[in-house]
Amino acid sequence: MIIAILMFILVSIICFISALPFLIPYHIVLISQSKKIGYKLSIEHIVIRYIFLSYLTGVLWFTGTPSIMDIVHNSFGVITPEGLNFPSDEINLIPFFGITVGIRPYLENILLFMPLGFMLPCIWTKYKVLWKTALSGITFSLVIELSQLFNSRVTDIDDLLTNTLGALIGWSIFKLLKKQLSKLQSKNSVSAQSTHKEKIPLLLRYETCFYMVIAFAGMFFVFYPFLRSLVIPLLRSLFGYVII
């Protein structure tokens, strides 16, 4: 477990680099728009959100989202003249169908998404509402599962359920530690009380969505096509195996 965590952290840092071509333009515009409402992005604001983005890219690595090369070259034969052809053995819509094989994949999914449920309300005050964190967890997981229709990974409703459960557990942990984390939250969130909501720039109001899009774009367009072949030998030399 410790080795897997260390591998996840290392891969997250490397994957973060792949998001830079999309993160830098976003950040430049974000700073410009924030200045217009008199909101200065602090170092803490930037660092915490970059950690969040790094985590997202690590999740995408672990879950195995497809590459643009998979789509262009139709690597898995999904795109046919008759339309899309998704192999039935790579789609599971029956809840807990694979639990007889073992519970480890379920536990891994829960642990993987717990940081998402914890970090969302910790960074953005609007996610202290349970349903907003749950919706983000479901949406992020659903996009991952749907994207896996275009590679060799199984699109599994169990993954969607356990990922969402992990996010809810992470949110619950935040609630338990709410008092200790209140100072961090107040320093790094845009308050609707101090700034009229309609004046908050779109890029700042929907930061979470943009970071998720940036993470996907970095992995889809940069990491898998160009960096993955370099990372796998590195991981094998350090840890002796690769997660996916």
The 10s digit of each residue's pLDDT in 35-78 is 888 877 888 889 999 999 999 999 999 998 999 998 888 878 88
Give mean pLDDT, residues 111-122. Answer: 96
Residue 74 or 210, more confident: 210
Pair 164, 142: CB distance under 8 Å: no
Give mean pLDDT, residues 189-217. Answer: 76
- β-bridge pairing 83-84 and 79-80: antiparallel
Q: Model confidence at 188, in pLDDT bands (50, 70, 90)?
A: low
Per-residue model confidence (pLDDT) at position 222: 95
Domain ranges of the chain: 2-239
pLDDT over 70 at 106, yes or no: yes
Per-residue model confidence (pLDDT) at position 53: 97
**What pTM, to 2 d.p., does this model score?**
0.90
Across 137-141, 175-179, 232-236, which has the greatest mean pLDDT? 137-141
pLDDT over 50 at 194, yes or no: no
Q: What percent of the chain has pLDDT over 90?
A: 52
Q: What's the CA gap between 24 and 201, in Å, rounded?
A: 17
Tokens 């970095």 sit on residue: 218
Give mean pLDDT, residues 134-140. Answer: 97
DSSP class of residue 83? E
The 10s digit of each residue's pLDDT in 120-129 is 999 998 999 9
Residue 157 or 102, more confident: 157
Query: Residue 118's closest CA among 141, 142, 137?
Result: 137
Cα of 2 vs its chain's centroid, Å: 21
Q: What's the CA gap between 218 and 240, in Å, rounded?
A: 26
3-state secondary structure of 145: helix
Query: Residue 7's closest CA among 97, 76, 108, 102?
Result: 108
